[in-house]
Copies of this chain bind each other. A is one copy, B any other.
Amino acid sequence: MQTHSSHPIRVLCSRISEQLEQSVTVQGWVHAIRNLGRLAFVHVRDRSGIVQCVLEGELAEMTLSLESVVSVTGLAVEASKAPGGLEIRASAIQCISAAAAPLPFEINKKTIGARLDTMLDNRVLSLRHPKVHATFHIQAALAGAFRDYLTERDFTQIFTPKIVASGTEGGSNLFPVDYFGRPAYLAQSPQFYKQMMVGAGYERVFEIAPVYRAEEHNTSRHLNEYVSLDVEMGFIRSEEELMDLEQDMLGYMLRKAGAECEAEFALLGVELPVPHDIPRIPVAEAQSILQRKYGKTSPKGDLDPEGERLICRYAAEQNKPAFVFITRYPREIRPMYAMPAPEDAALTASFDLIFNGLEITTGGQRIHDYDELTASIRGRGLLPEHFESYLDLFRYGMPPHGGFAIGLERLTSRLLGQPNVREASAFPRDRMRLTP
């Protein structure tokens, strides 16, 4: 690469220690300023870290606002009192892009002293706070580890359409799209398409893509658009294999993200859980435990949010990790494609995974027999004609199969102990929020 005198090569803050006693140029955002008149200390932040720049004489007189983008050239020297043990004695400073002052909130304190809504309204600023910033490095690492784990095991990444002609579960909670004057919807999940790709001979597939739920909820647990980490696998013997896979995969993802984002987890003070020997508790048994231990009554065949929190507390009391698989949900609360349990056709070979008190996964084995599936659709009061292009899949040879999906934002927010899932979405979409 050429060096242009007018365009000095930029050095990242994290690499300055390799160039001590040399002239270097750093470029980044003004994180903090301490002005003592003829002497000023300016902290410059780039994607790798923060460095202290010392401005003397005329340079110290420059008017600078926090969060402006600057280019500072100077001698890199050791400085025991400076953060990181080094600083730059500036010989030149240039303001590339001045920031308006004052900022809507301070981002160089330990935490942002603003409400979540204000942080989301000023998302580009709040994302610059090191602790908020760390969230999305960790999220990217989790998604990358998901891909690596599955690719290594012969899973093929797929890309399926999000504009669909009908819903996967009968038509509720769908966002309507005007598709050249024809009615269409945003996909609630890639469910049908990932099953089709299994049946198309890929056998093992995964997808990392947005899904849409037009739910009117406005809670700390719901997003109307979120990233779904989807897995589907053919030639399984039962849903137990899927839980084996998810447990092992989560262990890999946490170890990998932990290694890649060691500094981020340390900054956030998060200790990574180890998902081994996750209990697998039939929902009826979980309900009994909740009733017996906590006097908690659950809705029919399911756990409510309070029940999800309590069953994780129960697991913690047994010295188990903060994960619990709940299994054997009744057919009436699972989708029409859920495989009946072998021992009781009123139950399903399905599961949820609860992590730190919140459901982060729904999964299970699917019905692969054409006649059984059409009967199940009819049993819901739905019309097989409405599922024609999906049902075609079962006409031409379909192996036993199943899968699951992990909500990426829920996984991230539970891992980081964030009370609101919106904190784990760079630009959340909820009942009220469409911008930024």
Contact residues of A with B, CB < 8 Å?
Answer: 4, 7, 10, 27, 29-30, 45-47, 67-69, 96-100, 103, 122-125, 127-128, 133, 136-137, 139-140, 143-144, 147, 151, 154, 156-165, 175-180, 182, 184, 186, 192-193, 196-197, 199-204, 208-210, 212, 214, 216, 224-225, 227, 235, 237, 368-369, 389-390, 392-400, 408, 425-429, 431, 434-436
Query: When chains A and B are docked, how far (Å) is the Cα of A108 from the Cα of B29?
Result: 60
Counting chain B CB atoms within 10 Å of each CB, the highest count among A46, A144, A389 belongs to A389
Query: When chains A and B are docked, how far (Å) is the Cα of A237 from the Cα of B124?
Result: 22
User: A158-B136, A177-B186 known; A398 and B97 CB under 8 Å?
Assistant: yes
Asked whether B124 lies within 8 Å of A392 as measured between CB atoms, the reply is yes
Asked whether A157 lies within 8 Å of B144 as measured between CB atoms, the reply is yes
User: A123-B200, A201-B133 known; A159 and B210 CB under 8 Å?
Assistant: yes
Asked whether A100 lies within 8 Å of B396 as measured between CB atoms, the reply is yes
Query: When chains A and B are docked, how far (Å) is the Cα of A144 from the Cα of B196?
Result: 21
Residue from B143, B208, B434 in contact with A184 in the complex, judged by beta carbons closer than 8 Å: B434
Asked whether A151 lies within 8 Å of B159 as measured between CB atoms, the reply is no
User: A140-B156, A158-B136, A436-B389 known; A27 and B235 CB under 8 Å?
Assistant: yes
Residue from B100, B144, B397 in contact with A97 in the complex, judged by beta carbons closer than 8 Å: B397
Complex: chain B residue closest to A203, CB-CB: B47
* Identical copies of this chain, number: 2
Contacts of A184 in B (CB 8 A): 434
Asked whether B180 lies within 8 Å of A431 as measured between CB atoms, the reply is yes
Contacts of A208 in B (CB 8 A): 208
- Nearest CB of chain B from residue A117's CB, rounded to whole Å: 14
Asked whether B165 lies within 8 Å of A434 as measured between CB atoms, the reply is yes
Counting chain B CB atoms within 10 Å of each CB, the highest count among A68, A97, A127 belongs to A97
Contacts of A154 in B (CB 8 A): 47
